[in-house]
Chains A and B, each alone.
Chain A
Amino acid sequence: MISSHTLSILVENRPGVLARVSGLFARRGFNITSLAVGETEHPDVSRMTVVLSADGKPVEQCMKQLHKLIHVLRVEELPGDASVDREIALIKVGVGVGKRAEVLEIVEIFRAKVSDMDVDALIVEVTGSPDKVRALTDLLEPYGIIELARTGRIALGRGGRGLKAPTLHPVPIESAS
């Protein structure tokens, strides 16, 4: 059954890692709905949050294969009900003086904010769950959306447990050969 999966992946912060990870999804024809990458509390480690829609069994296999990538440190699927997920959207709405008050009212209700304002347009900045962003976009649509940019989803599991990068233990080279 096709459903949405959110994967949290800790990787070494190096060139080429994104290509290796996305290549594994591409090979299976998974469509990536959203992808966000950024440094973690440890500058050598980045966290990738990948949202994809696919069948469960191949996703599980794909996670095992992600684990095999040398620069991948940890892989976890975040359960929808036990994780916090957010994204930021910047929405440029084409409203001049006439309708501006209506838009500002919507922005207020959504606890979004206006980040830029010009005579004939303004940029709304909203943070929230994908559902909230979608709801706001729907409401702003009639006013004319000129441009829209979304960060893609970032997510963390709820509670005290965390996905941690393993401590970096160098291996003596003797055991290498």
Chain B
Amino acid sequence: MTTMTGAQSLIASLERVGTDVVFGIPGGTILPAYDPLRDSSIRHILMRHEQGAGHAAEGYAHVTGRVGVCFATSGPGATNLVTPIADAFMDSVPLVAITGQVPRAAIGNDAFQEADITGITMPVTKHSYKVMDPDEIPTAIAEAFHIASTGRPGPVVVDIPKDVLTSPTAFDFPSTLNLPGYRPTTKPNRRQIRAAADLVREARRPVLYVGGGVFKARAAHELIALAETIGAPVVTTLMARGAFPDSHPLCLGMPGMHGNYAAVTAMQRADLLINLGARFDDRVTGRLDGFAPDAKVIHADIDPAEIGKNRHADVPIVGDAKSVIVELNKAVLGDNSERGRVDLEQWHSEVERWSRDYPFAYDQSEEGPIKPQYVVERFAEATKGDAIIATGVGQHQMWASQMMPLNRPYSWVTSGGLGTMGFAVPAALGAKVGRPDERVVAIDGDGCFQMTAQELATATLEKIPFTVAILNNSHLGMVRQWQELFYDERYSHVHLPQVPDYVMLAEAYGAVGLRAESVADVDGVIDKAMSVDDRPCVIDFRVDAGEMCFPMVPAGASNDEIIVGPNERPYDGVPQAPNEAYQRREEAAS
């Protein structure tokens, strides 16, 4: 036991839990922690905005599976972290946010730069600590990392008053954690696995509905075995892109509002949904009472509060996705060897027809404006799929998910649940820090880019090279699309005229700035960007502002009402394949 200050104890504790990098900005109350940081092995990356620090820590966590750590000072520093904390909460990202607080005696007095950050973030954190005694710092850090990274991961705030950081304390790192109220169930119940295997046996139209939980459990490898054992088609939600390789014949891609027609329709027609770590989010289900009407549901989640929340589960399984996948695979393998494999040929041929007849489609003419999807495709070609892709939120995000073949796990970094515009640049930065040997490409929109572009300064100075491809349609594109489709083309405040000049802006930040204005430019600028390896590179792709993101299930509609393209619906309200459930509903409605 050594005597030191609270701040030294904090840094020593972070070293003990294995922190190698912290994203942050110093300020009045966190100042004491920045002094011992100078002598620590921990790398600190000085961001330009606390929101950037939070998203960078998330990007780091997404690609490494380790806890992302960010520092901010009290008051505005801490409140700037609220968005990334909420983002991490929605997407179950392990994040520890350490904030300075005004001295103990000043708390509650509206002191300078005081904000009750544990109070403010209470609904969007997995847990939080207000450390009022310097001796409690090691325990708070140990517990915070444990809670953030185990069970269903999530953000934890550790708020430490300045005088706690400056007070003397004896550093005593705990050897055990005392958390009687926190014991996540990771091992699935054997009877439930048996019941699930029985449902799999009965199913003729099964779909594996794979969510972010598979990443959190590091179960991507095991998932392939399960999918092949059952022989079921697989859909990967926005949070699970790459958890199952897009190149695999069983993969149908992304379900949901802008998902693959085949993925959406396979779920609609399924007689069994095997949900592994997904949560029946409204963006996936569409109108709930019209979602997968014939399907029985196996729902495996480590968080019991997700099971049965939106959709009844015929077989609920509480457990870690990896254990569930391994156990279920064993059970189904056993059944298969005893009774032979279930013949799913007819189902496969139906699903293949949907994939074949309704692929993602766009029309790139040689002379016409650049289509955003074309840019994504050219990036896929240039990187050979060997890159980590980060995105913002909106049309570009959906095009990236649709057109970028994602074949490796932990190479897709996006903001799903909260839908945080501005996520891409700082998240790409954090991803590159976490996996420096990987190429990182941020596919961004012009609206998103402007929300966090200041982190290019961080990337330039810290020599963190990544590419930012702005699919610049000079609009808040997704909002524009909704106004075109649902508000009679009454465009309201969605136009972002070409200010700033993104090439000049990139150069002002010390980054490389490139621009593509015609189809002929695209490959050239991508090649150039790929050769930059010592600083960030921004490409301004001037893309067709009128391009819309399809397929689309309008908000509040049933997934049966999917619109395939601007001029066509697959079945104008009448399904192509006879569907009993659909007919039943039609009859009931008439």
Q: Are B305 and A67 in contact, CB atoms less than 8 angstroms apart?
A: yes
User: Which secondary structure dominates where chain A touches chain B?
Assistant: mixed
In the bound assembly, the distance between CA atoms of A35 and B142 in angstroms comes to 33
Contact B305 A68 (CB under 8 A): yes
Within 8 Å of chain B (Cβ to Cβ): is A173? yes
Q: Which of A20, A68, A169 contacts B122 (CB 8 A)?
A: A20
In the complex, which residue of chain B has the Cβ closest to the Cβ of A10?
Answer: B181
Task: Other than A67-B305, A171-B177, give 10 A-B pairs with Cβ distance below 8 A.
Answer: A12-B181, A16-B118, A61-B309, A70-B181, A73-B180, A167-B180, A173-B174, A173-B175, A176-B146, A177-B18
| Chain B residues, CB < 8 A from A11 | 181
13 A-B residue pairs with CB within 8 Å:
A11-B181, A19-B119, A64-B305, A68-B126, A70-B181, A168-B180, A170-B176, A171-B176, A173-B174, A173-B177, A176-B150, A176-B177, A177-B17
For B177, what are the chain A residues with a Cβ–Cβ distance below 8 Å? 170-173, 176
Output the least CB separation between B387 and chain A (Å).
29
Is there contact, CB below 8 Å, between A166 and B123? no
The complex places the Cα of A73 from the Cα of B181 at a distance, in Å, of: 5
Closest 10 CB pairs between A and B?
A: A170-B176, A64-B305, A176-B146, A171-B177, A70-B127, A168-B180, A170-B178, A73-B181, A70-B182, A65-B305
Report B155-196 CB contacts with A as 1/0, cut-off 8 Å.
000000000000000000011111111110000000000000
For B123, the chain A residues whose CB sits under 8 A away are: 23, 27
A12→B178 CA distance, assembly (Å) = 11
Residue of B nearest to A24 (CB): B123
Interface residues of A in 13-42 (CB under 8 A from B): 15-16, 19-20, 23, 27
B181, A69: Cβ atoms closer than 8 Å:
yes
Pick the contact of A171: B126, B130, B179, B303 (CB < 8 A). Answer: B179
Distance (whole angstroms) from the CB of A114 to the closest CB of chain B: 41
Residues in A whose Cβ lies below 8 Å from that of B178: 168, 170-171
In A56-106, the 8 Å CB interface with B consists of 61, 64-65, 67-73
User: Can you name the residue of chain B whose Cβ is closest to the Cβ of A27?
Assistant: B123
Closest to A68 in B: B305
How many angstroms from the CA of A73 to the CA of B178 in the assembled complex? 12
The verdict on B570 contacting chain A, using a C-beta distance below 8 Å, is no
Interface residues on A, range: 20 to 34
**Cβ of A165 < 8 Å from any Cβ of B?**
yes
CA distance A84 to B368 in the complex (A): 77
Scoring B18, B122, B126, B145 by chain A CB atoms within 10 A of each residue's CB, the highest score goes to B122
Report the interface size for chain B: residues with CB under 8 A from the other chain: 29
Picked from A19, A61, A170, A171, the residue with its CB within 8 Å of the CB of B305 is A61
Query: Is the beta-carbon distance between A72 and B122 smaller than 8 angstroms?
Result: no
For residue A166, which residues in chain B have a CB less than 8 angstroms away from its CB?
A: 180-181, 183
What are the residues of chain B within 8 A of A173 when measuring CB–CB? Answer: 142, 146, 174-177
Decide yes or no whether B304 CB sits under 8 A from chain A. Answer: yes
Instruction: Tell whether B147 is near chain A: CB-to-CB under 8 Å.
Output: yes
Q: Which residues of A contact B304 (CB under 8 A)?
A: 64, 67
Contact B130 A16 (CB under 8 A): yes
The smallest beta-carbon distance between B452 and chain A, in angstroms, is: 28
Contact between A176 and B142, CB atoms less than 8 A apart:
yes
Q: Shortest beta-carbon distance, A175 to chain B, in Å? A: 8
Are A177 and B180 also in contact (CB < 8 A) when A23-B122, A61-B305, A68-B303 are?
no
A98 CB → nearest B CB, Å:
50
B146 CB contacts on chain A under 8 angstroms: 171, 173, 176-177
- The answer, yes or no, to whether B401 is at the interface (CB within 8 Å) is no
Residues of chain A with a CB closer than 8 A to B181's CB: 11-12, 69-73, 166
For residue B248, give the distance in angstroms from its CB to the closest CB of chain A: 32
Query: How many Å lie between the Cα of A168 and that of B119 in the bound state?
Result: 27
**Interface membership of B402, Cβ < 8 A:** no
Confirm or deny: B149 has a beta carbon within 8 angstroms of a beta carbon on chain A: yes
Residue numbers in B under 8 Å from A27 (CB-CB): 123
Residue of A nearest to B67 (CB): A177
Docked Cα-Cα span, A172 to B176, in Å, equals: 4
Chain B CB within 10 Å — which of A15, A170, A173 has the most? Answer: A173
Taken together as a complex, chains A and B put the C-alpha atoms of A131 and B240 apart, in Å, by: 54
By a CB distance below 8 angstroms, the chain B residues around A73 are 180-181
On chain A, the residues within 8 Å of B149 by CB distance are: 176-177
Contact yes or no, B303 A172, CB < 8 A: no
B180 touches A169 (CB 8 A): yes
Cα distance A169–B179 in the bound complex, in angstroms: 8
CB distance from A41 to the nearest CB of B (A): 15
- Tell me the complex Cα distance, A15–B128, Å: 12
- Whether the pair B180, A165 counts as a contact (CB closer than 8 A) is yes
Residue of A67, A68, A169 ringed by the most chain B CB atoms within 10 A: A68
Residues in A whose Cβ lies below 8 Å from that of B175: 172-173
Cα-based distance from A61 to B118 in the complex (angstroms): 24
**Mask for B382-400, Cβ within 8 A of A = 1, else 0?**
0000000000000000000
Set of chain A residues within 8 Å of B309, measured between Cβ atoms: 61
Residue of A nearest to B152 (CB): A68
A169 to B176, CA, bound (A): 9
Interface centre among B145, B174, B180 (most CB of A within 10 A): B180
Q: How far is the CA of A171 from the CA of B145 in the complex (A)?
A: 14
State in angstroms the CA–CA spacing of A169 and B178 once bound together. Answer: 7
The CA-CA distance from A27 to B124 in the complex, in Å, is 11
Q: Which residues on the B side are within 8 Å of A64 (C-beta)?
A: 304-305
